[in-house]
Each structure stands twice: as structure tokens, then as C-alpha cells.
Amino acid sequence: MESATIPAPAPRRPRAHRWLRPLAFLGTPTALLLVLFLGPMLVMLGVAFDRGLLDGGQGAFNLTLTNFSDVITDPLYREVAVTTFEIATAAMLAQLLVAVPLAYVIAFKAGRWQLPILLFLVLADELNPMVRIYAWRMLLGREGLINEGLMRIGITDQPIDALLFSQFAVTLVLATSYITYTVIPIYGAMKAIDANVFEAARDLGAGWWTTTRRVLLPLIAPGIFVSLLLVYIPLFTDFASPALVGGTSGYMLGNVVNDLVLESGDLNRGAAMSIIMLVLSALFALVAYRLARINRLES
Amino acid sequence: MRPLAHRLRRRLPGLAGGILVAFVMVVLFGPVLMLALFSFNDSSIISLPWEGFTTKWYEEAWSNGQARDAVVNSLIVATIVMVLSVVLGTLAAWGLTRLRFRGRGFIAGLNGAVLVVPWLIIGVAGLIFFSEIGVSLSLETITLMHLVVTFPLVVAIVSAGLVRFQRSLEEAAIDLGATQRQMLRYVVLPQVGPSIAAASIFAFAWSFNNFEISFFNGGFEQTFPVWVFSILRQSENLPVVNAVSTVIAAAQILAVFGAWALMKRLTRSEGEGSETLTGLLTGGAR
């Protein structure tokens, strides 16, 4: 192909022109990210280290660590952090417990139903989260359908108050909010498995539990870590679900940020709390990412 | 006795799988179906007993200025965000996958970071930023912040499409005498078209459904999720919210199935149609 006519090498472009094409394609998007993503993050970092007007700051920047120390040492916030950890972890475990078998069914058993089931999972995610939270609130309330139903069948003669405005309610709503992102990475990992390995395991005398534990789980571990990465961080920073179905016992760190920033107008401590949550997210992401990578190398 | 047990054991895994799928679907969609059902109940209390069929909550919702404004605001913001995200995201995806230059890693990292940082924190940061520089919050600030968190998603989806498809085809087109523009029109566009279509659907949904950023970066004009949130914070459940929510949910169901049918047609020409489709559907996983 090149033997016929080899075009003369184009003259080297002047230095300035080499930047023109990247600038044309990436100039506006990058400027937007710098001004409206990195900019706000840096401003928030500054505000988190600034003595606020509420604490006698003079308007100019006064470096202080009190915002962080106040937020970290507050016993109430520590309690909320524990609640947040419990709720997020319970919701994550519940989702994994459903997601692993569900992904298995979709990947290996569903046949022609595979695509429709995936489509419904995508639909579940596309539904407006506020509509979903509202729907649960309607079902779980004191006069809600679930309590009405239970009383009619005669399982209880008094409405169960703990259904709504409780940790249980938040866990349930969160678990149903992110299930799509838990299932799909695990499904992806399962699609990559050669189904013959299950037959080989069976031929070698492994029961279903041994096969699951020794063959399936190691192979889908990277997918599980991706799910953790995608889901656990939004779970522990969520604030709409606890605000609407959590009551006082389901109060989470996201609500603390909301109350600091919007209720008490304390931007400085709100910023400090946000930075702490950001650091926790980053640490978690790092660990999950490492684990996902290590596992991929082994398998 | 034996054949029956045998048959049962063979059928059981499939049956268990079916029950699991059915259970998940009931938990995911049951509540929304109930919500829709009770938007037609002739009672201001959302519970049994069933008092009879009515459409009065829909009439009330339609004449409720706040509700209508909120939905219209959300539609306007999501449309603007979708169009700008697709343009900026496709440009950036092309630049990041086809050009070599210094600072590429940094820009790619910045795009990725936006997708990982929780919306709550971006929302709070935006609020602090706008208050520090003295910009008052409005639909414009919501739109800007939505755009910033949404176009990196388009970058991710379209880049994945561009990486999947072989660059040698572009070079072949140029070697065969196509101009740069013809190459883009007849070689690249048909290949990444489905990715761009999927990306625009996700971009619209991300903006329309976004609560956290709208909540922290909005002024007096509310978007739909912010409106629902403020109603539910103030009062008990209201049938009017049921009615509006039902309309929104129905529209979203139609949109997802419509998009699916459209993409099915777009990807039919390729051999691996369903694989591509699955990839696109799941590509938006945040």
C-alpha cells in the first residue's frame, strides 16, 4: 500500500499549533471543570480552615483547625457516624445478598429474559428517587398499606410504628435505591466466566456450596469490589432518604451537613464535615480499587 | 415417586431463580404501582379503604402552580443540560481518546473525579462557592452545576464507544481519499451514534432526577425533586403528590422503553447487537 507513492513528510508544525487541537476539543470542558468543580472544592477547603464570622472571624482569612476539631469531638456527631456506618453497611450487605444470586440468575439462567430483566433494573434506577422515597413512605406509615394489611390479616392488632421513621426504613429505601449499581458490575464479572468451570467443579465432586465458595465467589470478587466502590460511597453520604423516612433514629452524616449548612448557616463547620466525608470516601475508594485490582491479577 | 423427585430437582433452580427475580421486581416496582393506584383514590388519606375512582387529584395537580412550575423548571434545566453535556462530552471524549498532549492524564483524572465525588459534597461546595463570590442562587446556578457533574458521564460513555471501535478504520477512510469531515460523518458517527444516544438519555435523567445539587444550589424556583422534598418535609403524604409522581414515573417508563426500542434499531445492523445494547444500558452505571 505504501510502496507506490510515499508522500513527503509534512513539514513540522510550529510549536504553538500543537496546542490548538487539544484546546479546541478540551478547552471549554476543562475550563468548566476547573471553575465549577475544582474551584468550589478549593473554596470549600479554604472555608473549612477559616475562622467563621460566627466565631468572631474578621472577614479576612484566619487559619484555624477548630472547625475540624469541633466536628470530630462532638459526641452527637460520633453517634451519628456510627448510625451512618450501620445503616450503610446493612443496606450494602442486604443488596449483595440479593445481587449475587440475582446476577447469577440473569447471567446463566434467564435465557431470553436476560435483556428485559436488565432493562427493568435500568428502569428502576431511572425512576425519580424522590418518587421512590415517597412511595415507600406511603406504604410504611402508621396508616400505611403494610400496617393496614398486617392488621387486617390479624398478625398485629396495633400498627407497627417502627416501620417508618426508623433505621429499618432508611436501610430498606437505600437498599432499593442503588440495587442496579450493585447488580450490574457483578453481572459483568459473571458474564466473563466460562460456564464450563461449574461443570468441571461438579465433575470433581464439589457440591453447590463448595462451588459457590471456591469457584464463583473468587471469580466475581472484582465485580463485587466495583459494586462496593459505586454504591457504598453514595450510600453513606445520602441525605434525602434519612431526611424523609429516617426520623430522629435514622439521622445520618448527610443530615448533619445539611443542618450545619442550611439550618444553622455554619458554612465553616459544614465545609469541615464535608471535607471529612470526602476524605473517608477517598480512602474507601482507594481500598476497594486496590482490592479489585489485586483480585483481577490473581484470577 | 422417583421421576417426580428427579423432575422437581431439575426444575427447582429455575423456579428459585424465577421467584428471586419476581421478588426483586415486586420490591422495586410494587411501591410505585401502589402510589399510582392511590392517585385515583377518592380520599384525601392515602390508605385503605378504597373510596372510589376519581381523577380529581390530577385536576388539582394541574391547577397547582407550584407543581407545574417545578416540573417545567426540571424539564427546561434537563434539556439544556442534556444538549450542552452531549456537545461538551463528545468533544472532550474525542480529545481524550484521539489526541496526544501533555496534561491529558490530569484532565482525564479531573473528569473521573467528578463522577466519584458524592453529589452532596459537590452541592455543598457549590453553595459555599457561589456565596463566597456573591452569586445569588437560581435556576442558572442549578443548570451550571448539573452540567459540571453530567458531562463527564457523557465523556465516560462516549470514550468507551470510541475506544471499542478501531482507529484503523478512520485511517483507512483517510487513505481511501475521504476528507476529515466525510470520515467523521460516514465512519465515526455510525459507530459512536448509539453511545451518544445512550449518553444523552442518561444525561437527561441525571439532571431531571438530581436532588442534592438542585437542593443546595437553587433559589426560590424549585425543580421537581426539590418540590416533592419540601412538600414531604412540611406535611403528611398528599394525593396531589401521588398524581404528579405518577405522571413523572409513567413518562420515565415510556422514555426508557422508547429509548430501548430506538437503540435496538440503531444497533441491529451490527452482529453483536444485544451485547452492545447491554453494554450501553449498563454503561451509565455510576
Same structural domain for residues A238 and A189? yes
Q: Where are the alpha helices (DSSP H) in chain A?
A: 15-18, 20-33, 39-48, 66-73, 75-104, 114-126, 129-140, 145-153, 167-177, 179-191, 196-203, 208-211, 217-237, 240-245, 253-258, 267-298
- Closest partner residue to B28 among A28, A43, A179, by Cβ? A179
Per-residue confidence (pLDDT) for residue A299, from 0 to 100: 41
A208 touches chain B (CB under 8 A): no
Query: What are the phi and psi torsion angles at B86 (to 5°)?
Result: -65, -40
C-alpha cell at A254: 448527610
**Residues of A whose CB is below 8 A from B117:** 41, 278, 281
Q: How many domains does chain A have?
A: 2
Per-residue confidence (pLDDT) for residue A158, from 0 to 100: 77
Per DSSP, the three-state class of B69 is: helix
Same structural domain for residues A216 and A253? yes
Identify whether A121 is part of a domain. yes
Which one of A64, A92, A111 terminates a domain? A64
What domains appear along chain B, each with residue ranges and CATH number?
A: 66-283 (1.10.3720.10)
Per-residue confidence (pLDDT) for residue B271, from 0 to 100: 41
Identify whether A57 is part of a domain. yes
pLDDT confidence tier of residue B10, bands split at 50, 70 and 90: low
Same structural domain for residues A224 and A181? yes
Identify whether A227 is part of a domain. yes
At residue A143, does pLDDT exceed 60? yes
pLDDT in tens, B123-136: 999 999 999 898 88
d(CA B172, nearest CA chain A) in Å: 11
Provide the CATH number for the domain around residue A242: 1.10.3720.10
pLDDT in tens, B220-277: 889 999 999 988 888 766 888 888 889 999 998 898 888 888 777 766 644 444 555 5
pLDDT in tens, B82-120: 999 999 999 999 888 888 888 888 888 898 889 889 999
pLDDT in tens, A234-263: 999 998 999 998 888 888 999 999 999 988
d(CA A34, nearest CA chain B) in Å: 9
pLDDT confidence tier of residue A84, bands split at 50, 70 and 90: very high
Which ipTM value was assigned to this complex?
0.85
Q: How far is CA A175 from CA A133, A178, B36, B225, B285, in A?
A: 11, 6, 22, 20, 16
Distance of alpha carbon A37 from alpha carbon B66, whole angstroms: 31
- Closest partner residue to B256 among A110, A123, A285, by Cβ? A123
Q: Which domain holds residue A32?
A: 27-64
Identify whether A60 is part of a domain. yes
| DSSP at A9 | P
Same structural domain for residues A271 and A193? yes
**Residues of A whose CB is below 8 A from B218:** none
At residue B12, does pLDDT exceed 70? no
**Residues of B whose CB is below 8 A from A6:** none
Same structural domain for residues A54 and A194? no
Identify whether A69 is part of a domain. no
Average pLDDT across chain B, whole number: 83
Same structural domain for residues A41 and A91? no
Which one of A64, A90, A109 terminates a domain? A64
Residue linked to cell 419540601: B230
- Say whether A134 and B249 touch across the interface (CB within 8 A): no
Identify whether A136 is part of a domain. no
Identify whether A41 is part of a domain. yes
Most A CBs within 10 Å, among B120, B214, B276, to test the A interface? B120
| DSSP at A178 | S
- Closest partner residue to A26 among B38, B107, B114, by Cβ? B107
d(CA A30, nearest CA chain B) in Å: 7
- Say whether A271 and B252 touch across the interface (CB within 8 A): no
Same structural domain for residues A50 and A110? no
